[in-house]
Structure 1
Amino acid sequence: MINILMSGCNGKMGQVITRLASGSEELTIAAGYDLNNSKDNPYPVFTNIHQCDVKVDAIIDFSNPAALENILEFAVSRKIPVVMATTGLSDENIKVLEMASAEIPIFFSANMSLGVNLLLDIVKKASKILSDNFDIEIIEKHHNQKLDSPSGTALAIADAINLALEQKYEYTYDRHSVREKRSKREIGIHAVRGGTIVGEHSVIFAGNDEIIEIKHTATSKEIFAVGALRAAKFICGRKPGFYNMNDLISAE
């Protein structure tokens, strides 16, 4: 049995993961970490992660970027693998993750859904074929409580496209302030916030007289929880390093 420390256990994703893990024969949530300790959980919850005295085999973090360095300090001091699933991480945050991966195994993905990661592969292949004659736009939609914009997944899609193309494209987030035609060498990224939309990402390739749209829609937060739990099973026993969803898929 794999014992998990759930960071952000009292948040929406933490509670979904807790529920799914309760039915697993391979892993269990043995402890939680959250500044908010108002919920009743079937495991001890610590408001200070450094006070956790429960032996755990991995940490799943679905909390806040502000907690990153504190969590990593704890994980490195005890040599515990980390699945970093928190969204909205900055480039500086990711550099901190990469530095910590020299000492412990770290799994990081901008989106824990297997479907989204398949979309990334498809979009990279499509970009190589279509980029010369098609404009590329990304539209992401999320619920009205989401804090970061654009989403980390939308940025990951844009980065995947840029990686696939020989010439770097610029990212355009807002066009209202400049009255000029769209550049061929840009990727438009647009965010919609409303209601209870779990997550939707569309990549539009707009050409002359034809449009190709590649889209992923999440209808439940469970897909992200399932991915995080699979990542936790994958990361246990690994050597220090920086792992992602491609490593998990390749290993299965």
Structure 2
Amino acid sequence: MINILLNGCNGKMGKVVSNCITNFPQLTIAAGIDKNAQESTYPVFSNISDCTINSDIILDFSRPDSLDSLLNYSIDKKIPIIFCTTGYTDEQIAKIKKASDKIAVFHSANMSIGINVVNNILKNISRFLYNNFDVEVIEKHHNQKVDSPSGTAILLADTIKDSIPEETTYVHGRNGIAKRKHQEIGIHSIRGGSIVGEHDILFAGQGETIELKHTALSREVFAIGALKACEFMSGKHNGLYSMDDIISQ
């Protein structure tokens, strides 16, 4: 049995993870961490430093400001950690990468299996399409999402950018009347209602368009991906891992 320490256990995603884990017989939530320390079917601590329960994996669905305490705990206990949180700064991402020298770290901007398959498709097609197509990334999320653009939109745009030999630049939104330049990759954010998550990659050419689209219909897709990551990370040694490692198995 793999014992999980779930950070952000009483948040929206934490509750979904708690419900979905019944479909994973090799996994159990040994304890949770949340500022709202309301008890669940497992003990919950308001601070990770107060946790007295042994665990095999730390699973984080919270906010970027918890990063330092999580890394300190993970390194001290030598426990693999999975970061599902988005909105990290470049400095925080550097900390995550540096920590992977000491512990096993899993970091992904989106835990959906489907969106990571789309991302791998982009690795293969972007450089072929770029010469004849303009590229735009459009993401839609619920009205309570904090970060914009989404971490997934940045992931997809970075994949496209890294696949193109020529220098490209990001344009966030299109105010004014300036004509589009071919070397631009547009990134656009929409916030409204209860949209779980939609990402649309548009390749617009002369007389034709190609679209790759992923729609998350419920938060369960992220929870399932995160729990698959817990199974994958069990027993892993130091190193940096991602959803690419799971879908390439």
TM-score by length of 2: 0.97
* Overall identity of the aligned pairs, in %: 50
Query: What is the identity, as a one-letter code, of the residue corresponding to 1:203?
Result: I
Shift of 1:124: 2.3
1:204 paired to 2:202: yes
Partner of 1:12: 12
Partner of 1:35: 35
1:221 paired to 2:219: yes
1:248 paired to 2:213: no
- Name structure 1 gaps, 5 residues minimum: none
Distance in 1 (alpha carbons) for counterparts of 2:44 and 2:84: 19
**Matches for 1:124-139 after TM superposition, within 5 Å:** 124-139=123-138
Instruction: Please say if residues 33 and 46 of structure 2, whose CA atoms lie closer than 8 Å, have aligned partners that are also in contact.
Output: yes
Instruction: Please say if residues 201 and 212 of structure 2, whose CA atoms lie closer than 8 Å, have aligned partners that are also in contact.
Output: yes
Partner of 2:141: 142
Distance in 1 (alpha carbons) for counterparts of 2:40 and 2:22: 11
Query: What is the identity, as a one-letter code, of the residue corresponding to 2:18?
Result: T
Query: What is the identity, as a one-letter code, of the residue corresponding to 2:22?
Result: S
Q: What per-residue deviation string (whole Å, max 9, x for no partner) do you get for residues 43-100 of structure 1?
A: 1111110111101000000000010111110110000100100011122111110111
Query: What is the identity, as a one-letter code, of the residue corresponding to 1:31?
Result: A
Query: What is the identity, as a one-letter code, of the residue corresponding to 2:184?
Result: E
**Matches for 1:43-62 after TM superposition, within 5 Å:** 43-62=42-61
Aligned length: 249
Report the 3-state secondary structure (helix = DSSP H, G, I; strand = E; otherwise coil) of the residue aligned with 2:62: coil
Partner of 1:72: 71
Instruction: Please say if residues 6 and 58 of structure 2, whose CA atoms lie closer than 8 Å, have aligned partners that are also in contact.
Output: yes
Query: What is the identity, as a one-letter code, of the residue corresponding to 2:37?
Result: N
Q: What per-residue deviation string (whole Å, max 9, x for no partner) do you get for residues 124-147 of structure 1?
A: 222111100110000000011101
- Name structure 2 gaps, 5 residues minimum: none
Report the 3-state secondary structure (helix = DSSP H, G, I; strand = E; otherwise coil) of the residue aligned with 2:248: helix
Query: What is the identity, as a one-letter code, of the residue corresponding to 2:138?
Result: I
Query: What is the identity, as a one-letter code, of the residue corresponding to 1:9?
Result: C
Distance in 2 (alpha carbons) for counterparts of 1:220 and 1:143: 12
Partner of 2:179: 181
1:152 paired to 2:151: yes
Query: What is the identity, as a one-letter code, of the residue corresponding to 1:127?
Result: S
Report the 3-state secondary structure (helix = DSSP H, G, I; strand = E; otherwise coil) of the residue aligned with 2:240: strand
Instruction: Please say if residues 61 and 83 of structure 2, whose CA atoms lie closer than 8 Å, have aligned partners that are also in contact.
Output: yes
Instruction: Please say if residues 117 and 247 of structure 2, whose CA atoms lie closer than 8 Å, have aligned partners that are also in contact.
Output: no
Partner of 1:21: 21
Distance in 2 (alpha carbons) for counterparts of 1:115 and 1:249: 10
Distance in 2 (alpha carbons) for counterparts of 1:92 and 1:179: 35
Query: What is the identity, as a one-letter code, of the residue corresponding to 2:199?
Result: H
Query: What is the identity, as a one-letter code, of the residue corresponding to 1:238?
Result: K
Instruction: Please say if residues 57 and 79 of structure 2, whose CA atoms lie closer than 8 Å, have aligned partners that are also in contact.
Output: yes
Report the 3-state secondary structure (helix = DSSP H, G, I; strand = E; otherwise coil) of the residue aligned with 1:3: strand
Instruction: Please say if residues 4 and 31 of structure 2, whose CA atoms lie closer than 8 Å, have aligned partners that are also in contact.
Output: yes
Distance in 2 (alpha carbons) for counterparts of 1:22 and 1:215: 30
Shift of 1:23: 4.2
